[in-house]
Amino acid sequence: MATAPITARLLDQHGRVARDLRVSVTDRCNLRCRYCMPAEGLPWLAKPEMLTDDELVRLVTIFVALGVEQVRLTGGEPLLRRSLTDVVARIAALTPRPRIAMTTNGIGLDRLAAPLAAAGLDRVNISLDTVDPAEFADLTRRDRLADVEAGLEAAREAGLVPVKVNAVAMRGINDHSVADLLGWCLERGYELRFIEQMPLDAQHGWDASTMIGADEIRTRLSERFTITPLPQAERGSAPAERFLVDGGPATVGIIASVTAPFCGACDRTRLTADGQVRNCLFSQRETDLRGPMRDGASDDELAALITGEMWRKAKGHGIGSADFVQPIRPMSAIGG
């Protein structure tokens, strides 16, 4: 039976419209970053709990019909999903074709950057918190810095530009080397962005009093570089406040998710690897799409579940308020 076309948008009751979908393609990861996961890892989703490629592509197709213009693949570590190149090709074949980005730790990208670009991947953000091998091994609990560096180079060679680098600073581990990381990125033409550490770690170890805030990052960078803010008007819904470095054209970004939240301009929605739609990283609830889909729900019924969840999106994430409660799922299981 033919279904009516999906015409609704991903609107919430505060007037925001989601156009950027973050899809977690796996909850597994090959690093154990201290701000994200415990040393022993986490209980991973079992295969039957995860969306198959057909299910994932079907849901992304519905999101695109609902107005999503950019799909960002993330995880866990997205490169660990064996079918990733095929998934990218199938998303790139949608009409209208969304922009396709990926957030990755870069391990394995030396082999995969070219096939992913050929399949339709447009851009990558590669997470790298330090270029000091000892600090990297301490922070990620793995000795894989050379692999990440090779992944970055391969991304640039494959044309996945601008190659952006995401970094989190942790006190006592890599906070004193943030300017070294910026210098290293500038030399190679990578666009660096620092992200404030958020309360999304599985161990619940986040502490507002020791977190490195945007101001501190800026102060530390200013010890070596001249950092000049770009006009706010150029920011739009982008989470990063950008600064010219030494007069430009190179820039550095700082994402002050905690100390200067940008929820009012948020245009994001999320799909977890097990098929739950989440309207916010910090949401206490999510709506199951996998169950209804496996029970035979139509595209319109799934679209109604998605728009309903988006409508309920809270005005702000509430970190810092007295009643803030960290979400049950950690970042790696939601999709960063």
CA distance 318 to 299: 33
Residue 272 interacts with ligand SAM (CB under 6 A): yes or no: no
Nearer to ligand SAM, 52 or 326 (CB): 326
For strands 70-74 and 276-278, give the pairing: unpaired
Q: Which amino acid is at 75?
A: G
Nearer to ligand SAM, 144 or 302 (CB): 144
CA distance 282 to 330: 10
Residues binding ligand SAM: what is the number (CB under 6 A)? 20
User: Can you say whether the dihedral through the CA atoms of 91, 108, 24, 178 is positive or negative?
Assistant: negative
The CB-of-226 to ligand SAM minimum distance in angstroms stands at 26
Nearer to ligand SAM, 62 or 168 (CB): 168
**By rule CB under 6 A, what string of x and - marks binding of each residue 38-77 to ligand SAM?**
------------------------------------xx-x
Written in H, E and C, the secondary structure of 3-51 is CCCCCCCCECCCCCECCEEEEECCCCCCCCCCCCCCCCCCCCCCHHHCC
**From candidates 94, 121, 168, 227, binder to ligand SAM by CB under 6 A:** 168
Question: Quick one: which segment of 13-21, 29-37, 115-123, 143-151 binds ligand SAM (CB under 6 A)?
Answer: 29-37
Peptide linkage before 231 cis (omega within 30 of 0): no
**From candidates 61, 166, 272, 283, binder to ligand SAM by CB under 6 A:** 166
The CB-of-124 to ligand SAM minimum distance in angstroms stands at 9
Tokens of residue 221, six digits: 């960078």
For residue 95, count other CB atoms closer than 10 A to its CB: 8
Nearer to ligand SAM, 132 or 201 (CB): 201
By the 8 A CB rule, do 118 and 160 touch? no
Residues 114-133 that bind ligand SAM (CB under 6 A): 127
Binding site for ligand SAM (CB under 6 A): 29, 35-36, 74-75, 77, 103-105, 127, 166, 168, 195, 197-198, 200-201, 331-332, 336
